[in-house]
Amino acid sequence: MQEMNPVNTASLASADMARALPDASGLDATGAHGAAGVQIDHLSVRFGTRTVLNDLSLTIRRGELLTVLGRSGCGKTTLLRFIAGFIEADGLAGSLTVAGRDLTHVPPHQRNLGLLFQSYALFPHLSVFENVAFGLKARRVPSRDIARRVADALKLVQLGDQGHVMPAQLSGGMQQRVALARALVIEPDVLLLDEPLSALDANLRASVRSELKALHERLPNLTIVCVTHDQDDALVLSDRTLLMRDGHIAQLGTPQELYDTPNDAYVARYLGAANLLPPGVAFPVGDPRHDVRDKLACLRPESLRIAPLGEGQLHGTIESVEWYGSVLSVPVLLDAMPNEPVLVTMQRGHGMTPEKGMRVSLRYEADDVVLINP
């Protein structure tokens, strides 16, 4: 992690930080550096003959938590590395402004950014306190100030009593908090997170995800950019989500916007299960959408309800019933689409009990159907 000039983080936390929302003025970057947002204009990155990012422009607001989502190779990590200043490419064009400063040609160690990587990169021979204090010592901050600032940062991530512990004695989730405290103690203009939860198991991932969300709420002036491949991270953490595809922006908006009104089939399927039907199947004759030829009708599985045969818009046969605790996943082969099942998800114990081979109808509201690009 690169370290910058010393700043005051004494107000990072209040005495009861673990339970109450702090004042958060310690991370208010509205002073000398102006509004702590990120502006990227016409960014293109090429390695040899491969274009990783192609004329991408993006504005991230101060205090926003933006998740950058996409499959491997889509360019999301390259975007993060460009903000951090780590890109060395054959073809690199575009400009970067962070917190009102033009950082396009500024080296990484002179950018006031906090970085948290997948591996955490803790020093195994240093205690938790020494790990968090590392950047402040590199800035030659006085010892008395280091002690106070590190204590505040550890309180912020709910590790106030763990300063003496060595990293090997901590769980993966606690190590992640130490790395986060080390990134925050320098009071960055922007916090960059690169797959910060991918090394955790499913249960711990959900817990730490909630902690990150709560942390952002406690620090409303801190701009955060989080790269992830996990849709749950995007849906839970984001103020807005940037979904990338092949070096371009597939869609940018709130998680609800991407889920409820996807631009196209790629976005619809990335943000969750989606049934994509020909409009002639989803809409009855007489509906103006029935004859649309260049769109698909998107229906989320939870919008469909299983009804007795003849009491719904679509008719078919239940292919199987899969139980996931409180949720049932029910693929239905429609008479109008016998080669591709439509997925229905329903709460166990709600509505009629589905059985394999049962002839049923599917009901849904007209507002549940969204026309999207293929």
pLDDT tens digit string along 354-364? 999 999 999 99
Quick one: 122 and 238 in the same domain? yes
Tell me the CA distances in angstroms from 76 to 5, 135, 152, one per residue in order. Answer: 28, 27, 32
Task: Give yes or no for residue 8 having a pLDDT over 70.
Answer: no
Residue 354, domain member (yes or no): yes
Same domain, 57 and 154: yes
CB 235 within 8 A of CB 255: yes
Question: Under a CB-based contact definition with an 8 Å cutoff, are residues 328 and 321 in contact?
Answer: yes
**Pair 64, 207 in one domain:** yes
Is the CB of residue 208 less than 8 Å from the CB of residue 11?
A: no
Q: What percent of the chain has pLDDT over 70?
A: 90
| pLDDT at residue number 14 | 31
Same domain, 318 and 232: no
Q: What average pLDDT does the segment 37-41 reach?
A: 95
pLDDT tens digits along 88-130: 888 899 999 999 999 999 999 889 899 988 778 899 999 999 9
Residues 174, 297 share a domain = no
Per-residue pLDDT, averaged over 44-66, amounts to: 95
Q: Do the domain assignments include residue 92?
A: yes
- Determine the pLDDT at residue 201: 79
Last residue of one domain, picked from the residues 215, 233, 265: 265
Single-letter amino acid code for the residue at 215 = L
Instruction: Assign 144 a pLDDT band (cuts: 50, 70, 90).
Output: confident
Give strand pairing partners of 281. Answer: none
226 strand-pairing partners: 67, 193
Model confidence, pTM: 0.84
pLDDT of residue 36: 54
Q: What are the DSSP calls for 222-250, one per residue? A: -EEEEEES-HHHHHHH-SEEEEEETTEEE
Q: Which of 246, 318, 215, 336 is nearest to 282 (CA)?
A: 336
Is the confidence at residue 23, as pLDDT, over 70? no
3-class DSSP state of 199:
coil
Contact 318, 330 (CB under 8 A): yes
Contact assessment for residue 56 and residue 203, using Cβ atoms and an 8 Å cutoff: no
Task: Please check the confidence at residue 87 and state whether its pLDDT lies above 60.
Answer: yes
SS3 call for 306: strand
Q: Strands, E, within the chain: which ranges?
A: 38-47, 50-60, 65-69, 91-98, 101-102, 113-116, 190-194, 223-228, 240-245, 248-253, 275-277, 296-299, 305-308, 314-318, 322-324, 327-334, 337-347, 359-363, 370-372
Predicted confidence (pLDDT) at residue 35 exceeds the cutoff of 60? no
Average pLDDT of the residues in 157-162: 91
Dist. CA 229–CA 205, nearest whole Å: 13
Could you report the per-residue pLDDT of 262-292, keeping only the tens digit for each?
Answer: 999 999 999 999 999 999 999 999 999 999 9
Determine the pLDDT at residue 16.
Answer: 31
Residue 181, Cβ density class (10 Å: 0-12 exposed, 13-18 middle, ≥19 buried) = buried
Average pLDDT over residues 307-333: 96
* CATH for 322: 2.40.50.100
Q: What is the pLDDT of residue 218?
A: 87
Q: Does 12 reside within a domain?
A: no
Q: Please say if the pLDDT value at position 205 is more than 50.
A: yes
Are 102 and 204 in the same domain? yes
Structure-block tokens of residue 69: 């989502």
Tokens of 317: 């046969």
**Confidence at residue 248, expressed as pLDDT on a 0 to 100 scale:** 96
How far, in Å, CA of 316 to CA of 335, rounded?
5
> Residue 291 has what DSSP assignment?
G
CB 347 within 8 Å of CB 330: no
Residues 261 and 346 in one domain: no
Has residue 202 been placed in a domain?
yes
Closest to 80 in 3D by CA, of 179, 191, 176, 186: 191
Quick one: average pLDDT of 225-241?
92
Contact 20, 14 (CB under 8 A): yes
- Name the residue with higher pLDDT: 119 or 188: 188
CA angle centred on 203, ends 270 and 215, rounded to 5°: 80
Q: Is the pLDDT of residue 168 over 60?
A: yes
Over residues 55-60, the mean pLDDT reads 97
Same domain, 106 and 195: yes
Provide the number of structural domains found in the chain: 2
Instruction: With respect to residue 322, please indicate whether it lies within any of the assigned structural domains.
Output: yes
**Within this chain, do residues 259 and 334 fall inside the same structural domain, yes or no?**
no
Averaged pLDDT for residues 155-179: 91
**CATH number of the domain to which 35 belongs:** 3.40.50.300
Q: Are residues 317 and 260 in the same domain?
A: no
pLDDT in tens, 336-353: 999 999 999 999 888 889
Domain boundary among 231, 265, 299: 265
Domain end call among 214, 249, 265: 265
**DSSP assignment, residue 182?**
H
- The mean pLDDT value for 170-199 works out to 89
Choice between 207 and 23, residue whose per-residue pLDDT is larger: 207
Which structural domain range is residue 59 located in?
25-265
Give percent of the chain with pLDDT exceeding 90: 67
- Looking at the structure, do residues 343 and 310 belong to the same domain, yes or no? yes
Same-domain status, 218 and 322: no
Task: Give yes or no for residue 365 having a pLDDT over 90.
Answer: yes
Q: Residue 225 in contact with residue 38, Cβ under 8 Å?
A: yes
Written as one letter, the residue type at 156 is: L
Max CA separation in the chain (angstroms) = 77
Q: How confident is the model at residue 293 (pLDDT cuts 50, 70, 90)?
A: very high
Q: Does 19 have pLDDT greater than 70? A: no
Residues in the chain: 374
Is 2 domain-assigned?
no
Residue closest to 113 by CA, chosen among 7, 21, 209, 196: 7
In a domain, 247, yes or no: yes
Q: Is residue 4 part of a domain?
A: no
